[in-house]
Amino acid sequence: MSANRHIRGRHALVTGGGSGVGLAIATALADAGVEVTICGRRAEALEAAAAGNDRIHGIAADVTDEQSMLDLFKAAESARGPFDIVIANAGAADSAPAHKVTLDDWKKTLDVNLTGSFLTVKPALAGMAARKSGRVIFIASVAGLRGYGYVAPYVASKHGVVGLMRSLAAELAKTGVTVNAICPGYVETDMLDKAVNNIVEKTGRSVEEARAILSANNPQGRFVQPQEIAGSVLWLCDEDARSVTGQTIALSGGETW
Ligand code: NAP
C-alpha cells in the first residue's frame, strides 16, 4: 500500500511535537508533504524541531489551557488554513503507589493527558465535520487498554482518552471524519528515560536492569521506536484508511489484545 498519497498539502497539528513521539510524527508528516504546526510549552524545543524543516512550524502553547489552544488555532489556521489532521500527542507520566498520589498529582496528569487531549481536538471538530473530511488521532497508550501498577493517574487518564476517542468516532461517523487512538507500549523517548531513572532511584537497580524490567513488558522484549508510531499515523491519514474509525491500534509487541 502506498501510504500518504492523499495528504500532500494538508495542514496538521501535533501537540508535544518538539520531542519524542510527537517530533517523529511531525517529521514523517512533513516528509510526506504536510504543513505541520507543532506545539509544546518549551519554545526552544519547538525551535530546534522546526530548524531546517520548512514544513514544521512551532507555536508555544499549553494543552491544559483552553485560551492558549484557541490562540494557537487562530494563529496557525490563519497562516496555513484549517487543520485537516489533529494529533493529540502531548502527555506526561509520573509513577507512585496509588496511596501516595496527591490530589494535585492526580489533577496534573488528568489535566495534561485527558483534558489536554479534549482541548486539542475540540476546536477542530465543527470545521472538519462541515468539510466532511479530517483525521483525529490520539496518542494514548497500552495503559488505555489495561491496568498497570504504580501509574494509577496515567492509566485512568489514558482510559479516558480511549473513551473520548470512541465517543467522537461515534459522533462523527457520518461526516467522513475518522477518530482513532494509537496505543504504544514503552517507546524509546525522554518519557522512558524518566521511568528508568525513577526505578534506579527508588530501587537502587542499574540503568540496564531497569531497562530490562520495562522491556520485559513487551513480549517482543524490545522498546517501540517513535518512527513506528509515525508510520501508523501516516497510514491512518491515508484515504485507504477511511473505514478505520473508533479503533485502538496497539503497537506493543503483543502486550495487549
Ligand atoms: P516526551 O518526549 O516527554 O514528550 C511529551 C511532549 O508533551 C513534550 O514535547 C512536551 O513538551 C509535551 N507536553 C507536555 N505537557 C504539555 C502541556 N501541558 N502542553 C503542551 N505540551 C505539553 O514523551 P513521549 O514519549 O514522546 O510522549 C508522547 C505521547 O506518547 C504521550 O501522550 C505519552 O503518554 C505517549 N506514550 C509514550 C510512551 C513511552 O513509553 N514513551 C508509551 C505510550 C504512550 P513541553 O515539555 O515543551 O511542554
Q: How high is the pLDDT of residue 5?
A: 62
Mutate which of 121, 189, 194 to test ligand 1's pocket (most atoms within 8 Å of Cβ)?
189
- Quote the CA–CA distance of 190 and 115 in Å, as a whole number: 22
Nearest CA to ligand 1 atom 12: 16
Q: Is the CB of 19 under 6 A from ligand 1?
A: yes
Q: What per-residue confidence (pLDDT) applies to 2?
A: 46
Tell me the CA distances in angstroms from 178 to 54, 72, 159, 170, 201, one per residue in order: 28, 22, 19, 9, 42
Give tens-digit pLDDT for 110-167.
999 999 999 999 999 999 999 999 999 999 999 999 999 999 999 999 999 999 999 9
Average confidence score pLDDT of the chain: 96
Per-position DSSP letters for 58-84, written without gaps between them: EEE--TT-HHHHHHHHHHHHHHH-S-S
pTM as predicted: 0.97
Instruction: Check if 16 has its Cβ closer than 6 Å to any atom of ligand 1.
Output: yes
Written as nine digits, the cell of 16 is: 508535544
For CA atoms 60, 4, 129, 81, the dihedral sign is positive
**DSSP symbols for 118-158:** HHHHHHHHHHHHHHT-EEEEEE--GGGTS--TT-HHHHHHH
pLDDT score, position 257: 84
